[in-house]
Structure formats: structure tokens, C-alpha cells
Amino acid sequence: MERRGVSIFSITDHDTTRAYDELPSTRSQIVTGIEINTTRDGVDIHVLGYGFDPSKAAPIHETLAANREARRARIKKMIQLLVRAGYPLTEEMVAAEAEGSESLGRPHVAKALVRHGMVRDVQTVFRDLVSRSGPAFVPSAHITAAQAIDAVARAGGVPVLAHPGRLNDFGIIEEMAETGAVGLEVFYPTHTPMQTAYFREQASRLGLVMTAGSDFHDSRWNSSVVGVEVEEDDIRPFLDLVRR
């Protein structure tokens, strides 16, 4: 972190906070975080939670347990469909990619397929096999966004709608604000300048604080660097909330 000049960071793993039990000492400011997968009418909506105390976050941990169970069932079904489609994948191969993580997901399936030479790259897996039109697509069945937002709020955290540029319907932004989201992830690597300007406008209109995230998953499989550069003035209202 120090080598890259990162002054503030948060680890927002999907459906787990274990990273905070293993962090080395750092001079950077740490903001606790989590990314919670939620589902609404078959649509994935990711809710970020920031600034909570992991040791006092029982409401969050309860929702995470439900999501992890749903994830395990989904991945098991996905593996079965891949085997049926001619890819001899096993649960052990996928679990090995998780490296002890409690939260299995499609990236672990993709990495296992690539590592064992069944598919050329991760992008191909997502595009051709596990996307909605692919032979191994299994819809997610997570908790609702409202449940995730409520859990983060009850744990004393700041609930934020993640990477809105990946949503098919931007109307979800206002819906999440009405549900209790406090922030919007305006600054994100794949947001176009036009999208960033639009989300900045929406955050202002809806009274949401702006946040930034790189959505970095793994240096072996993600070509973008960890972290995202952002003007502190843009995220100062968010920092004021998590520093309370």
C-alpha cells in the first residue's frame, strides 16, 4: 500500500470480513468494508458497507451466512452443468481457487477452468459459459438489497450502492436511495466519463455521498492495479461519515 502511495483503503470482499483478521500493520487509514451480493427479480445488486466495527457487526454476519449458503448451492449446480457440457470440473478445483475464502463465486469457477486448461481465459468463461445465455448459467438467489442495507445500517455502517454502471436500469439508484442507501460508488474503473458525470449528478440530486472503488479481485487475473485515484474533496463527505 505504501509503495503505491495509498493513503486510505478498504477491503470489500464479497460476503466475508475475514481479511480484517489478517491485515499486517500499515500507516494507511483503514476503513472497514464489505460487499454484499443481493438479488431483486433475478437482477444482481451489490451493496457495499463501510465504517462498521467487525466485532460488533452481528446483523451483517447474519446476512453473510445466508448468502454464503446460497453461493455454495449455486456453485455446486454450476459445476454440475459444466460437467454436463463437457468440462470435467470438480468442487475441489473450485475450492482451491478460493484459497480458504468462505465465499465461493463465479470468479473461482472461471479461474479453475483456466488453470486446468479447459478454457483460454477468465473473460471467455464469463462470456460463453456462465453468463445468462451460457450453458452453465445459474441465477443467484441472495438476500434482498433492502435486507443488506438494513444490516449495514444496524451495524453502524454506511450502506452504498456499488458500481452503478454495471446496472441495466439506472432507476435502481433512486430506488436504493429510498430504501436507505447513503452513498453511491461514482468513481469506478469501467465507468465512462459520461457515466461518472451522470452518477455524480445523481448523487447530488439524491443526497448520496460519493465513493470510489477499483473492484480489484486478484493480481493474477485482473490486469488493473489495486486502488483508484480520486480527489479527496469528492469523497470527503463519505470520509466524514466513516470517521464519526
- Output the pLDDT for position 221: 47
- Consecutive 10-residue averages of pLDDT for the chain (244 residues): 72 83 76 91 90 86 87 93 97 89 85 96 94 92 92 95 94 96 95 96 98 76 66 94 85
3-state secondary structure of 131: coil
What's the CATH number for 8-51+144-242?
3.20.20.140
Residue type for position 189: P
Amino acid at 222: N
Q: Which residue has the cell 487475473?
A: 221
* 76 CB neighbour count, 10 Å cutoff: 13
The pLDDT value recorded for residue 27 is 66
How is the chain split into domains, by residue range?
8-51+144-242
Q: Is 130 in contact with 109 (CB distance < 8 Å)?
A: yes
Q: The pTM is what?
A: 0.77
pLDDT of residue 48: 97
Strand 158-161 to 43-50 pairing: antiparallel
